[in-house]
Copies of this chain bind each other. A is one copy, B any other.
């Protein structure tokens, strides 16, 4: 992560970082509605229009913050994976899942910003999209590792709906593992959906009707998933 370019480029990059950091600070301390251009600028000793030198719009600025948050989350999960001996894949999976949930719960407003804003999939990938893909790859690679180390039982190709098969084949091509059974892709995806679905409901407070501490329920989920992935 070494700085490059002219001096001007460097100070400019520093300002961009300060802007996104300030935006996040306000997000955390005062909530999403308080993250206005004027509030950001005020806290930086600037005026709002100056921010347009760095971002085309308020939306674009927020998208950039989302990218940064994706990167932080990805780093956190990858650190959890690396800190676990590569021999114990079950532990790796558990720690990675816990790291994801922990980050979500300790950064609820950030999580809401990242995953709670329905984003239409644009044509070309921007910075934010790339950060999101990097995050996605982190869990994909973990699952691939699990499969390669010890394949688990999956549905046979013939038992999977064609409409699902064709989508899984496309996605399998994207992650670059052409020899993986379609059934394994299905297991990966449904496990991920269960994991992210759970965490999302948690952060959005949708479990409060029954639970005030969802940790034991999450623990149960992880046991279930580990089982499904043949980890004992």
Contacts and interface: CB of A to CB of B under 8 A. Distances in A.
Nearest to A164: B216
A115 B205 CA distance: 9
B210 A189 contact: yes
B208 A197 contact: no
Contacts of A189: 210-211, 217
Q: How big is the A interface, by class?
A: 35 or more
A215 B210 CA distance: 28
Contacts of A217: 164, 186, 189-190, 193
A127 interface: no
30 contacts: A112-B118, A120-B205, A121-B205, A121-B208, A133-B209, A136-B209, A161-B216, A161-B220, A164-B216, A164-B217, A164-B220, A167-B213, A167-B216, A171-B209, A171-B211, A189-B210, A189-B211, A189-B217, A190-B217, A190-B224, A193-B221, A196-B197, A196-B201, A196-B206, A197-B197, A197-B198, A197-B200, A197-B201, A200-B200, A200-B206
Interface of A: 108, 112, 115-116, 118-121, 132-133, 136, 161, 163-164, 167-168, 171, 186, 189-190, 193-194, 196-198, 200-201, 203-213, 215-217, 219-221, 224
Contact of A221 (B120, B190, B203, B221): B190
**Of residues A116, A201, A210, A220, which shows the largest number of chain B Cβ atoms within 10 Å of its Cβ?**
A210
B198 A193 contact: yes
Contacts of A203: 118
Contacts of A221: 190, 193
Contacts of A215: 163
